[in-house]
Structure formats: structure tokens, C-alpha cells
Structure 1
Amino acid sequence: MKYLSLSDRKDAALVCRTWYEAFLDPILQRDIILHFYASTAARTGKDISSLYKRRLPHLILNDFDSSLEAKAVVLKSCEHFGENLKSLSLKGSNLTERTFVELMSNCKNLVSLDLSCCNSLFMSGTLLELNSDLQVLKNVLGNVQEVNLSSIRHISDVTFNRIMTVCENVEKLALCSAPIVFSNTLFQQSRHTRFANSSVLTFSNIMDFVITQQCLKSLNLSRTLIDDDHLETIVSIKELHLEELILVGCRNVSDEGIASVCKHQHGLALLDIRECPDLTNGALMAISASLRNLRHLFAQKCKLLSDASMACLHKLTSLQTLDISECHQVTSEGLIAGLCTKPLTQLTCLNVSCTEASDSFVEMACESLPLLTQLDLSSCFKVTDVGLHAIAKHLKYLRYLRLAFCNEITDLGLLGLQPQPGHIIMGDTENMVTRKYPSTVIFKAPNKIDRSGIVTNGTPGCISTSTPVAISNLAGLRSLDLTACKKLTDVGLMQTIKFAELRFLGLGILNDLSDEGLICLVYQNPSLEELDVIQCNNITDDSIEVVTRHLKRLRVLNVKACSQLTDRSVGHIKRNCKNLRHLDVSFCGGISHEAMDDLELTLTSLLSVQKRMIGS
């Protein structure tokens, strides 16, 4: 079973008791995360003690309020499998200090603790105030290596230090969106005691912690007010040897701050500088010159980056993940110079969405980076069928492909065919000649189509290098987004979208997608778990019936702005989608509020429902 995906394992466990017992092997439970909704369990009076045999290592507590019923259910349930827990998330939970201590005392082997958004827990400032509580949790949480204290409005030096005292071996610390005070003139911190300010969290207190915490490997200061000077202060600590630094949305950090990071932290393996608007080519050049061990680089929305810095990326020979999406000045010329001239052979994940990347880069990248498993080209308007042919021909390990809003991709790109002179492609309405009545279209009848280049079956990769290849050659594809590729029609989709392991399929804003096409795709892709057909106005209740009956694993369904759907579709969802978690029917005028209210009461598996502007 270890070779199966999680969804396949869950289905296999239902075959017989022997397979179910095999499914309970602790090795097979490592990638399973349990979401426990405390308020729902409290209303039904059920705990989750029946799950203790599974030895689940990951638990997320949702909707945990301060009610006595929820507290009793959670504490009783955690007694059964607390010793097996490796990670626990209490994100956004409304729990008291006493409940927290009682809960954590059962988690003796915890490695990761998430307390983000737990404002009520820190509001009073008395968390772990008693020495007895401090000592109990210090003995229990000694193995915790990762702590998340993000987005806690009421955190102070006092409560921060108490948490760090009981989690004394922390290697990863997240303080994203923490209200850190960087000005020493506002709050003077005493250096004679570790328990400092009881009102705010100060940068000087964090510095004291980092200096003493020599095992710290990862630091997340995203969306804080840290500037270049304070960043240099913290990265220049001699005892600090970071492997991960996350600075998402730090608007006060500029090239100077990144240069300091590169100067003092040569061992960084992951650097995240997304949404830092003041970073220019100088920052990326410094990164390329100094951080030779960097494996993951995220620079999304660094809009001042251009080809000059992209050309230096070839120096990062260990790079495995690169995200430069929404860097609008980046073109194919810079990408080719940085990624293809001296290929980054270890690169597996590449995101260049919303850049000026074109077919010339895609062709060279596919030849130079054959190990890519994830590729995002969404909103690269210059990518055409030529680029898609290169992807299908060379990237045999590709698992995730995003081509959303690539308007020039047509059925010929999917089919692996070359356009013939005078052949009008269905969906290419710009080249159509019509009469007075739009129902009659005049076009030159196509000659006999040579389908020798189409690969729909057989062994992937066994193809001629002289002919284009169909997208079906990407046999291992698990996620495919074709949203707003408006020149695609049923013809190309039905012939090529046949993937046994496909989990996500995005077909939104495809004006020529009909019931016939969608029904065919449902039968050809039985493993779908997420389906997006937003704003497909030709989709009716008939195709939704087939979707709900045949996609047994469907968890996410987005039919937003599908104008022809009615309450019949809601009825099909109600009867057939027992595993559905997320549903969006916003702007579906034919769906009534009464039908949706009944669905939410009946289908208890639903976690979120979007229903804006329905029934109009």
C-alpha cells in the first residue's frame, strides 16, 4: 500500500478487513492529517477515541471554543492518541490557559505546535504563570522543534519567553504578522531578567532569545515592520546559522537588508522574499553570488526584478524550487540566460506565471530542465501550441501543469497537431467568416488530418522527435489547469484529457465546453477530487448529475456563475456527494436559497459553502 496515493489507500481500506488492518500501519499514517471539529463533536456527544488504533501523528483542532462540552470532548479524545501526536495545530482556537495546559500534558512526543491566531489564550497575560504548569509542560514539550506564534495580537515578551522556556529545543520559529515593537524609545526592556515586557513583544527580547537558542534553523518574520538595520542585527549573530529565512511582505526590507543576509547566512537552503516591493536586481544578484547552497527561492511579486538579475540564476546550481511569478519585467531572454544556458539540472518546481515568458523559453526549458515536476505558466499570454508541444514531448515527470489564461492555446496544442494552411480551428472566432445569421459558419473544409503525432495510448516517451506530441503523453499528470484557454473546445478536451491519476482539473471560462464534453471528461478521469467549471454557461443539470454520480472522490466543486444550473443540481449534490468538503455556487441565478439551506443541513461533510448572489 505504501506505493499508493492517500486517496487510493483510503479506497483500498474499504475492500476487506485485512486491507483495512494493513491501512492502519503507522508508516502509512504519516501523511494523514485529522481535522477535528470540536463544536460539532460536542453537539453530537461523540469523541474520537475510536481512532486511537490508527496512531495518527497530525491533528488540527477546529472550532474549539470555551464551552464545557467542547473541552470535555477534546480532552477525552486526546487522552487516547496524544502519545502518538507529532504535530498539533490549535490555530484560531478559543481556549483558556487551564485547558491548554491540560491538553498539552497529553502530548509527550510532540514535534510541531501551531498556536497562530490564538488571541484569547494570550489576552490575559497569565499563560503559564504558575511554576507548576511551567515545569509540567517543560517536561512534556522538550521534543518540540517547531513553534508557530503568528498573528497573535496580545503576545508579549512575558508570554513569548514562557512558551520558549517550555519548548527549549525549538529549531523553527514563526512570528508572521506578530506585533513586534522595533523602537527602543517606546518601551525600554530590562536586560537583568528574561521575563521582560508584559504588554508588548519587543525586538530586543527576540534578539535575546535568538542569541541563546543556538539550535535555531528557521525564522519567519513575514509581514512585520522589520527593516534593513534590524534584519542585519539579527542575521549577524555569530551563533546563528539559519537554513530557512522567510520575509514575505516585509515592505521595509530593501536590497541592503538582503545583502546583509547573504553576507552572514551562507548556509541558507530556503529564502522567501515574496511581496517585498523595494527589492531590485541588486538583491537577486547578491543572492545568486553568495547563497550557493540555496535550494528554494521564492520571489513572487518582486516587481522591480528584470532580466539583468535573472541571468545570474545559473550560479544557484543546487536550486530545486524557483518562484518568480508576477515579476512583469522578466522576459524569455533573461529566463533563457539564467535557467537554460547553463541548466539548473536539479530544478523540479518552476513558477513563471504573469511574466513575459514565451514559446522560445518554454522550448529551451523543456529540453534543459527535464526533471520538472511542477510548471506554472498561467497568464503567460505569449505561450502558444508550440510551447505546449514541447512540454508534452520532454517533461515526462510532470505532475502539476498550470496554463490558465494562456489564450493562444488551441485544440491542436492538446492534440499534438500542426495547423494546416487555411484550416480554421474551432474556437478561433477571430478568423471565422459568418453570414448575417450567426448559426451558419463558412470555413474551408480541412484536408485529411494526419494524426500520427497524437499520442493517446502506449508508452509515454516513445515518440518521434520530429513530430509534435499530444498532452496525453504526460501520463502521470495529477493537476491540470486550463482555465480561460478560450480557444479550447470539446474536440481537443475529449480526445486528450485522459489521466488515471488526475486529481484537479480546471476548466473555468471555457465558452465551448458543453455537457457532452464534461460528461466525457468525467468518465475518462475517474480519480478527480477537485473540479472547477466556473462560468461555463453551457453546463446544465444533466452534466452535474454525471459529475456527482461518477466522481466518488470529489471534495471540491466550483460551479460559480454557471447560469443554467438549477435546484436539480443541488439535489444531485445532496444525494451523491457524500465526501464533498467545499462548494461554490455563487452567481448561479437558477439556484435558490431554500435548496442551499437544505443542502447545508443534510450534507454534514461540507466545511465551506459559497453562495453569493444566488436566486436572482
Structure 2
Amino acid sequence: MESLHLPSEIITYIFSFLHVMDRKEASLVCKSWYNASQDYPFKRNLTFKFPASSSSLGFIRGLARHPRCGLVISHLDGSSVSRQVLLEVGLHLGPRLDSLALPGSSITESCLLELLPRLTSLRKLDLQGLDSLFMSGAFLSREEHRRKVYRALLNLEELNLSNLRYLSDLSFNRLTICTPGLRRLSLSGCHISFEFDPYRGCPVGSGSSALVSLRNLLNLLQKQTSTLRSLDLSRTGITPKSLRSISKLRGLRLEELNLHGCKELTDYSIEILCKYQSGLRMLDLSGCMELSCRAVLAVGAELKELRVLSFSQDWKITDKGLAELMMLPHLRSLDLSECLHVSGTELVKGLSGPEPRAQVETLSLRNCTYIRDSVVFSLAQLLGVHLRELDLSSCVYLTDLSVRAIATFLPALLVLRLGWCKEISDWGLLGMTEPTKHCQPSDREVNAEGITTVCLCASHLLRVQT
């Protein structure tokens, strides 16, 4: 089959409206469509994943034809094969590499220092879990090495240092001094001492060779306030006082903040955060179990630019304040999963109010056991054509009426999760109200562990998990 002799530029433009998987399928139609699918705009963000082995050497050389790409190389170690893999990456992809991640690896400092100076266009570097680099405390201790790495990482925008057990002030400073233009920094799961140094038995100082201190982190944030926009401190022991210190830092204008699993945070600390960082667009407060409706009210009152919000597993949160969240005009994703006291009535109230109101595309109410059919019916009507993904797993009191409301009022829905909704029957998923002679119900109940049923709903194919 041949296309209707359209210029390749027109085909490329049409392909730009397709999802990447649809574009892949379309590229199999004919040669001209394939050539259009290989256009440069479609290859700017390609990332290739492979393990370090002798068989990957030829693959790396073949990647040299791509103008830009990213790499995720796993299982690197100190062997000669791993060294050869890194050498090939530096030789053939150095100036073309946008991002580099080394998961599940145990490389040495010498291996990485042979590679980094060649990566002159690197935008994203992921070193999470690479304890072998920082265990000795000598990483980038030599001035000549720091100068080479600085020239290579001058344009680095994203640095991931998550889950590093041996990260210290000294090694942290040596690395970040080479990255003056950071926009995103992740320290998730790192051992950060915010107020008390367990090794010295005294208040936290700076320049520690054993851990990262709050004072040292504040110094970095102060130096990079003009560029830094995203910070991940999830699964750390950050205290309310420490969060207030970061929030009030002069000139800091965060757009994304991840505090997942920071269990010591209080409502007052979140109120201060919202007051001083009112430009936040993404905020993850999931697993912060001491938060209550005061934090919800603070978010709704101050964060007018918010797009993504998670209060998952915050068990003290009730419906109070949720109506204000629905009045945030830019809110697109809301996660209230495992908020056990949420019934959804305030969500309906907020969406029923005057404009502006949220146009939510992703909504998770998983394990909110107070959710009833009447709430789902109202939410389906109010969210209408905007909602793309809905998670109602373990909302055990929902019935077939909710399925009918979803099928009727959510024509754009792509993903629907209904796991453990035991009152929903096969007939509800099929859109039928009673058995017929030609189709009798099965004697076996729906498996709550995860049977996947596919149904055609409102002219769209949904992935329904029951």
C-alpha cells in the first residue's frame, strides 16, 4: 500500500499528532511512512537500555548515527568488559549523549572519570544507588579531575543522587560544584542529618565526611536559587523546622517538590511551605501521616499554579478542604488513595462551583471505602471529557450503577481500575441489566486478585482491572 504521494513534510506533520506506539505501527505501512517516522523531531528523546556485555559493543557503535540519545546501562562493574563499554560510549556517543543512568552497577571512580569528561552535552546524570563511587570518600578529591568534570557537566540540568548510603558533605560539594546550572536535584532516601549529628553527638555542622547536613544543603540551594526548580527529599528524615528553613530561603522558587514518606512533617510546616513557595506546580505529600485538613486548606488557598498533587496514605485527611482544591484552575492530577475518611462529597461540591475549577485528567480514589455510587455519578458528570484515568480500586461499596455512569459521562477515559470492587458484576461491565437466554452468568465470582476484563465503553476501549 502506498500513500497518496503526499510530501514527506506533510506526513511527518500528521505523524506528530500520533502517540509513539501508533506512530510505530503506522511506520510499517509503506516506505514513505517509515521514512517520515524516522524524522529528527521523533528521535530527540530516545533512550536505549541494555546491560554491559561484549555483545553491546557493536550496538553502541551503531547508535552513533543518532544525533541525540540517552543511555541506561546496567550491571557495570570493574571488569575489562565494563571498561570497554564505557570507552565505546565515550568515543562514539560522547558529544551526542543527553542522559546517562547506571542502575544496578558497582563501578569505580576511575571508570567513571574516564567517561565523564567526554560527555560534553550531558543534561541528565543518574547516579542513584552507586555506593561504590562514594564509599571511600575520595570521589573527585583531586583538583585536576574536578576541572575536567566541570567542563563536561557545565550544562547539566538534572542530577539524581537517590539512595546513596555513603554520600557526605565533602563528596556532595565536590560533585555539585561541577554542576552550576542544576534545575532538578534528587536526594531521595539519602542519609541527611537535618538537626542532630549522630556521629558527633551534637547539632549539625557542615563539611561532614560521614553524612550530608542541612546546613550544607542550604548552602547549595542558596548558590543555585536562580536555576533550581525541582527538589526531591522523599524518604528522608526532614523535620518541620528544616522544611521551614528551606521554604524561606531567599530567592528560591521551586516548581516541583517531592516529600513522599517524610513522616515528621506537620500542618504548620506545610502552611509555611505553601506561603513561601506559592509557585509550586507539583507537590507530593503522600505518606506524610501527621498531615490533616489544615494542610489541604493551605494548598488550596496558596498554590494557584498547582498541576499535580498527592495526599496518598495521609490517613488524617477528611473531606474538609477538598472543595478548595477543586477550585485550582490548573490542577490536572489528584491522588487521594488510601485517605480512608474521604467520601468525595466535597470534591463534587468544589466541581459544582463557579468557574474557574479544576479540569482533572487523572484521579485516584483507591481504597477510599466511603465512596458511594452517588458520588461517582456526580464526579463522572462534572469531570466529563477531561478525565483520562480513574482509579477506584477497593471502593468496596460501588455497584454496577457506577460503571454505567462512567460509561455514559466519561467518553475520553483511557484507564479504569476497579480491583476489589466486589459489588460490581460481570453484567455491569458488559452494560447489561439482566441475564438473557443467549448469555447466562457464570457461577464463579469475579476474581478480586486481578482478572483483566476488556470492554467497549462509550466508543473507547478501556483497560478495566477487576
Which range, TM-score by smaller chain?
Answer: 0.7 to 0.9
Does the 8 Å CA contact 1:117/1:152 hold for their aligned counterparts?
Answer: yes
Partner of residue 590, structure 1? none
> Which residue of structure 2 aligns with residue 81 of structure 1?
93
How far, CA to CA, are the matches of 1:2 and 1:305 in structure 2? 42
Matched residue SS, 1:245: strand
Contact 1:223 1:249 in 2 (8 A): yes
Q: Which residue of 2 aligns with 1:437?
A: none
Seen in structure 2, the aligned counterparts of structure 1 residues 80 and 163 have a Cα distance that, compared at 3 Å, is same
- RMSD over aligned CA atoms reads 3.0
> 1:28 aligned to 30, 39, 42, which one?
42
Q: Which residue is equivalent to 1:158? A: 170
Counterparts of 2:297 and 2:447 in 1: how far apart (Å)? 35
Secondary structure at 1:369 match in 2: helix
User: Is 1:67 the counterpart of 2:83 in the alignment?
Assistant: no
Match of 1:361 among 375, 379, 392: 375
Question: Kindly tell me: are residues 425 and 360 of structure 1, through their superposed partners in 2, closer, same or farther at Cα, counting changes over 3 Å?
Answer: farther
1:349 alignment counterpart: 362
| Offset at residue 429 of structure 1 (A) | 6.8
Is 2:272 aligned against 1:260?
yes
Out of 409, 416, 432, which is 2:424 matched to? 409
Check 1:9–1:49 CA distance in 2 against 1; reply closer, same or farther (3 A cut): farther
* Equivalent-residue separation in structure 1 for 2:125 and 2:173 (angstroms): 15
Q: How does 1:134-283 map to 2 (within 5 A)?
A: 134-184=146-196, 186=200, 196-214=207-225, 215-283=227-295
**Could you tell me how far apart the structure 2 residues matched to 1:99 and 1:22 are?**
39
Note the C-alpha offset of 1:270.
0.9
Tell me the TM-score normalised to structure 1 length: 0.67
**Aligned residues of 1:385 and 1:410 also touching (Cα < 8 A):** yes
Q: In 2, distance between residues paired with 1:171 and 1:147?
A: 8
Q: Does 1:399 align with 2:363?
A: no
SS in 2 for 1:413: helix
How far apart are the structure 2 equivalents of 1:85 and 1:265?
33
- Is the CA contact 1:24–1:53 (under 8 Å) kept in the aligned structure 2? no
Q: 1:308, CA displacement in angstroms?
A: 1.8
Distance 1:177 1:395, change over 3 A: same
Q: Secondary structure at 1:216's aligned position in 2? A: coil
Aligned to 2:66: 54
Q: Which amino acid aligns with 1:62?
A: S
What is the distance in 1 between the residues matched to 2:287 and 2:454?
Answer: 39
Change (3 A) 1:126 1:166: same
Name 2:391's counterpart in structure 1: 376
The change in CA–CA distance for 1:412 and 1:188 in structure 2 (over 3 A counts) is closer
Cα offset, 1:300, TM superposition: 0.6
Cα deviation code 1:41-71 (max 9, x no counterpart): 2367645211221335221111111111111
Within the alignment, does 1:323 sit opposite 2:335 as a pair? yes
In 2, the alpha carbon distance for the partners of 1:380 and 1:338 equals: 21
SS in 2 for 1:308: coil
Q: Is the 8 A contact 1:332 1:361 kept in 2?
A: yes
2:144 paired residue number: 132
1:37 corresponds to 2:1: no
AA at the equivalent of 1:383? L
- Deviation of residue 246 (structure 1)? 0.8
For structure 1, list consecutive stretches of 5 or more residues without a partner in the other structure: 431-481, 508-616
Output the amino acid matched with 2:341. Q
Aligned residue pairs total 445
Distance 1:267 1:233, change over 3 A: same
Q: Is the 8 A contact 2:411 2:459 kept in 1?
A: no
Separation in 2 of the partners of 1:44 and 1:58? 15
Letter in 2 for 1:402: R
Pick the aligned partner of 1:484 from 440, 448, 459: 448
Match of 2:124 among 112, 130, 140: 112
Q: Which moved more, 1:4-13 or 1:262-271?
A: 4-13
Opposite residue 354 of structure 1, the aligned amino acid is N
TM-score relative to the length of structure 2: 0.87
- Identify the residue that residue 286 of structure 1 maps to in structure 2: 298
Paired with 2:313 and 2:187, the residues of 1 have a C-alpha distance of 21
Between the two proteins, what is the percent identity of the paired residues? Answer: 34
Counterpart amino acid of residue 291 in structure 2: L
Which residue number corresponds to residue 11 of structure 2?
none
Give the superposition deviation at 1:427.
4.0
Is 21-30 or 91-100 further displaced after alignment? 21-30
Q: Tell me the distance in 1 between the aligned counterparts of 2:457 and 2:327.
A: 38
> Could you tell me which amino acid in structure 1 is paired with residue 428 of structure 2?
G
**Kept after mapping to 2: 8 A contact 1:173/1:219:** yes
8 Å Cα contact 1:300-1:327 kept in structure 2: yes
Superposed CA deviations along residues 465-486 of structure 1, whole A, max 9, x for unmatched, are xxxxxxxxxxxxxxxxx97299
Partner in structure 2 of residue 585 of structure 1: none
Distance 1:133-1:188 versus aligned 2 partners, 3 A rule: farther
Q: Choose the corresponding residue for 2:115, options 89, 94, 103.
A: 103
Max Rg structure: 1
Work out the CA distance in 1 between the residues paired with 2:387 and 2:56.
47
CA distance in 2, matches of 1:212, 1:295: 27
Counterpart of 2:274 in 1: which secondary structure?
A: helix
SS at the partner of 2:257?
Answer: strand
Structure 2, gaps ≥5 residues long: 1-14
Residues 155 and 179, structure 2, Cα contact 8 Å, conserved in 1: yes
Partner Cα distance (1:188, 1:228) in 2: 16
Instruction: Assess, with a 3 A threshold, how the Cα gap between structure 1 residues 92 and 163 changes in structure 2: closer, same or farther.
Output: farther
Check conservation: 1:313, 1:339, Cα contact below 8 A: no
Contact 1:47 1:74 (C-alpha < 8 Å) held by counterparts: no
Alpha-carbon spacing, 1:118–1:318, altered in 2? closer, same or farther (3 Å): same
CA deviation string 1:8-35 (max 9, x = no partner): 4445556666555444333112443211
Q: Secondary structure at the match of 1:48?
A: helix
Whole-angstrom distance in 2 between the partners of 1:188 and 1:227: 14
